């Protein structure tokens, strides 16, 4: 039995592991990537580079400070290791360099992070159309540029943050198409008065982009991507308050890369497999794990921290991770000096801000009309919007019914990419709230693994027969 297992070595998971280890608990920290840091501190575990663009350098310094805590003797880090199943009794199934393995945890902390949301439009499956996070991964992890002439499209502050990073790394940013009109962002900006550092950062980014002559188009959406075998052009157009393209001129841009981000969705696959309760919180990215003040889920001994509780960013992830680390260590019989009060307050303050931000940068339902009947929605199984709309007209109202009906969500990604899109499509076609579509029931493995991973590891696997 492992005292504490932490799944996910992003900011929340690392903070949890370090806090619990410093309290005396023995911790196994598991991540699918070879190095800790998660998407946010992707490059921080690599040797310090000779020179980094200023915005990446700051991220690098913060990451190094956090990851330094992992050298604690109580922490075992297992990289390149996929957790493909978790059960309510805290059995964790792994697939890593040493082959398959099953661990049992006395306390389990799930810090699985989030995945990016995208919205479909004609041409969105062309090579060269990717997520903003994908382009950032290439940049931070491999120091590679995704392209030379880039359009960033979607909604949220990440578009401008990534725009500056890509610009500093040498790309040309052809345009940034931000879904929200500037007026609606400004009208809601008084909410952020108490967060001067955040506002300052955003204004800095805007100034940098302006100086470089990058057109930032507010109230615009990408309506199609064009190209033969890869993307060579993109068309953006003004949209109305509901997200429908307005009649009027479109702008055609010559690009070699389109980076999309429509916010993030919590990765609740592991908390779902563990049987934890979830709720729908639109301003935190949709379905998220429910926890108490100690970050413990509805399943005793299973904690959820960071994005899994709802999109909260690094500022929420760090205190929530520390809190779960403290409580899990205490439950394992170790004493911690740190008082939970201030950590809890920091987490709440961060969540309040991000919650506001997320409402400003909400996805608009009218965008679903961009998908033509021949636009693919489920990329793995190649199911088009038209096929899905036909099924919905037959009376389908939930993701779980749409799946066997159409095969959408049955492919290699198991609905990770199309799930949030399908929820929007169902809402748009039925007029019901997005939450009434429910979630896809998660099936193990969370990612495809070779069948040999599931082979019996001992001879105790005679199965029970009740009849």
Partner 1 sequence: MASVALFPGLSDELGLDIEYTQAGNLRLIESPEYAQTMQTDIGRQQDLGLDVRWLNADDVAAMAPALAPAAILGAGYCPTDGHVNPFRLTVGYFQAARRAGADSLIGREVRAITQTDGGGAMVQAGPHTIRAATVVIAAGAGSAALCQLMGVPLPLTPFCHQSMITEPLPPLFAQMFGTLPAGLYFRQTTHGGVHFGGGDSIRRAEAHTTPQTLRYMTGRITRLLPMLRGVNVLRAWGGVDAHTPDGMPVIDRLSEAALVATGFSGHGLALGPIVGRYLARWLETGRKPALLSPFGAGRFKAAL
Going by C-beta distance under 8 Å and a sequence separation of 6 or more, which residues neighbour residue 164?
55, 205, 208, 209
CB of 454 to partner 1, least distance (A): 4
Binds partner 1 (CB under 8 A): choice among 91, 184, 251, 369? 91
| Distance (Å, whole) CA 447 – CA 156 | 28
Packed helices 313-331 and 340-360: angle between N→C axes, nearest 10 degrees: 150
Q: Which residue, 53 or 88, has its beta carbon nearer to partner 1?
A: 88
Of 390-449, binders to partner 1 (CB under 8 A) are 394-398, 401, 404-405, 407, 410-412, 414, 441, 443-445, 448-449
Q: Which residue, 93 or 332, has its beta carbon nearer to partner 1?
A: 93
CB of 446 to partner 1, least distance (A): 10
CB of 413 to partner 1, least distance (A): 10
Residue 251 touching partner 1 (CB under 8 A): no
Q: Which residue, 359 or 436, has its beta carbon nearer to partner 1?
A: 436
CB of 305 to partner 1, least distance (A): 24
Residue 1 touching partner 1 (CB under 8 A): no
| Distance (Å, whole) CA 166 – CA 52 | 12
Question: Hey, what's the torsion of the CAs at 383, 424, 12, 43, to 10 degrees?
Answer: 50
242 C-beta neighbours (distance < 10 Å), count = 10
Binds partner 1 (CB under 8 A): choice among 33, 93, 271, 384? 93
Of 184-223, binders to partner 1 (CB under 8 A) are none
Residue 148 touching partner 1 (CB under 8 A): no
Residue span 96-125 as binding mask against partner 1, x where in contact by CB under 8 A, dash where not: ------x-----------------------
Binds partner 1 (CB under 8 A): choice among 43, 59, 85, 326? 85
| Distance (Å, whole) CA 414 – CA 33 | 20
Q: Which residue, 148 or 441, has its beta carbon nearer to partner 1?
A: 441
Backbone angles phi, psi at 197, to 5 degrees: -60, -40
Q: Which residue, 19 or 85, has its beta carbon nearer to partner 1?
A: 85
| Distance (Å, whole) CA 10 – CA 414 | 23
139 C-beta neighbours (distance < 10 Å), count = 22
Q: Which residue, 207 or 412, has its beta carbon nearer to partner 1?
A: 412
Residue 87 touching partner 1 (CB under 8 A): yes
Binds partner 1 (CB under 8 A): choice among 49, 333, 342, 450? 450
**Do residues 104 and 91 touch, judged by C-beta distance below 8 A?**
yes
CB of 275 to partner 1, least distance (A): 8
Residue 387 touching partner 1 (CB under 8 A): no
Q: Which residue, 91 or 232, has its beta carbon nearer to partner 1?
A: 91
CB of 368 to partner 1, least distance (A): 21
Q: Which residue, 89 or 240, has its beta carbon nearer to partner 1?
A: 89
Going by C-beta distance under 8 Å and a sequence separation of 6 or more, which residues neighbour residue 185?
218, 360
**Do residues 158 and 122 touch, judged by C-beta distance below 8 A?**
no
Q: Which residue, 38 or 445, has its beta carbon nearer to partner 1?
A: 445
Q: Which residue, 46 or 449, has its beta carbon nearer to partner 1?
A: 449
| Distance (Å, whole) CA 2 – CA 341 | 28
Residue 455 touching partner 1 (CB under 8 A): yes
| Distance (Å, whole) CA 312 – CA 151 | 26
Packed helices 54-67 and 11-22: angle between N→C axes, nearest 10 degrees: 30
Q: Which residues of 200-224 are buried (b: 16+ CB within 10 A; e: fewer)?
A: ebbeebbebbeeeebebbbbbbbbb
Q: Which residue, 339 or 460, has its beta carbon nearer to partner 1?
A: 460
Residue 50 touching partner 1 (CB under 8 A): no
How many residues at the interface with partner 1, by CB under 8 A?
39
Window of 167-175, 260-268, 351-359, 457-465 that interacts with partner 1 by CB under 8 A: 457-465
**Do residues 41 and 9 touch, judged by C-beta distance below 8 A?**
no
| Distance (Å, whole) CA 282 – CA 270 | 20
Q: Which residues of 66-103 are buried (b: 16+ CB within 10 A; e: fewer)?
A: bbeebeeebbebbbebbbbbbeeebebbbbbeeebeeb
| Distance (Å, whole) CA 423 – CA 335 | 45
Binds partner 1 (CB under 8 A): choice among 197, 228, 337, 466? 466
Of 292-321, binders to partner 1 (CB under 8 A) are none
User: What does the binding site for partner 1 look like in residue numbers (CB under 8 A)?
Assistant: 85, 87, 91, 93, 102, 394-398, 401, 404-405, 407, 410-412, 414, 441, 443-445, 448-457, 461-467
């Amino acid at each position: 039995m492992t005292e504490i297992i932490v799944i996910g070595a992003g900011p929340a998971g690392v903070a949890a592991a370090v806090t619990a280890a410093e309290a005396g608990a023995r911790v196994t920290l598991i991540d699918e990537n070879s190095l800790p840091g998660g998407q946010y501190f992707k490059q921080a575990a690599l040797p310090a580079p000779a020179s980094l663009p200023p915005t990446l350098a700051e991220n690098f310094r913060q990451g190094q400070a956090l990851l330094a805590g992992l050298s604690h003797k109580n922490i075992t880090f297992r990289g390149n290791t996929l957790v493909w199943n978790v059960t309510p009794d805290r059995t964790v199934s792994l697939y890593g360099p040493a082959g398959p393995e099953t661990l049992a945890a006395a306390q389990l902390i799930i810090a699985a992070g989030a995945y990016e949301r995208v919205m479909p439009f004609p041409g969105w499956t062309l090579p060269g159309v990717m997520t903003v996070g994908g382009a950032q991964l290439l940049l931070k992890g491999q120091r590679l540029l995704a392209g030379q002439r880039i359009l960033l499209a979607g909604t949220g502050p990440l578009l401008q943050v990534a725009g500056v990073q890509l610009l500093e790394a040498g790309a040309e940013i052809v345009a940034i198409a931000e879904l929200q009109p500037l007026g609606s962002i400004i009208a809601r900006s008084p909410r952020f008065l108490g967060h001067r550092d955040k506002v300052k950062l955003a204004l800095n980014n805007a100034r940098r982009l302006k100086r470089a002559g990058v057109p930032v188009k507010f109230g615009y959406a990408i309506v199609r991507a064009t190209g033969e075998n890869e993307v060579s052009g993109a068309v953006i157009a003004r949209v109305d308050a509901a997200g429908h393209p307005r009649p009027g001129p479109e702008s055609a841009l010559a690009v070699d890369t389109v980076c999309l981000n429509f916010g993030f969705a919590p990765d609740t696959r592991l908390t779902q497999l563990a049987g934890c309760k979830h709720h729908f919180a639109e301003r935190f990215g949709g379905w998220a794990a429910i926890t108490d003040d100690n970050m413990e889920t509805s399943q005793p001994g299973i904690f959820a921290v960071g994005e899994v509780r709802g999109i909260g960013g690094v500022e929420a992830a760090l205190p929530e991770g520390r809190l779960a680390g403290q409580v899990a260590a205490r439950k394992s019989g170790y004493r911690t000096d740190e008082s939970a009060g201030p950590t809890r307050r920091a987490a709440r303050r961060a969540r309040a801000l991000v919650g506001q931000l997320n409402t400003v940068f909400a996805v608009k339902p009218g965008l679903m009309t961009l998908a033509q009947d021949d636009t693919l929605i489920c990329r793995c199984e190649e199911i088009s919007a038209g096929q899905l709309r036909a099924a919905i007209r037959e009376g389908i109202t939930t993701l779980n019914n749409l799946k066997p009906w159409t095969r959408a969500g049955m492919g290699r990604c198991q609905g990770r990419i199309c799930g949030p899109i399908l929820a929007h499509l169902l809402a748009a076609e039925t007029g019901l709230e997005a939450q009434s579509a429910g979630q896809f029931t998660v099936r193990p493995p969370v990612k495809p693994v070779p069948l040999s991973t599931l082979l019996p590891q001992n001879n105790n696997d005679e199965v029970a027969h009740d009849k």
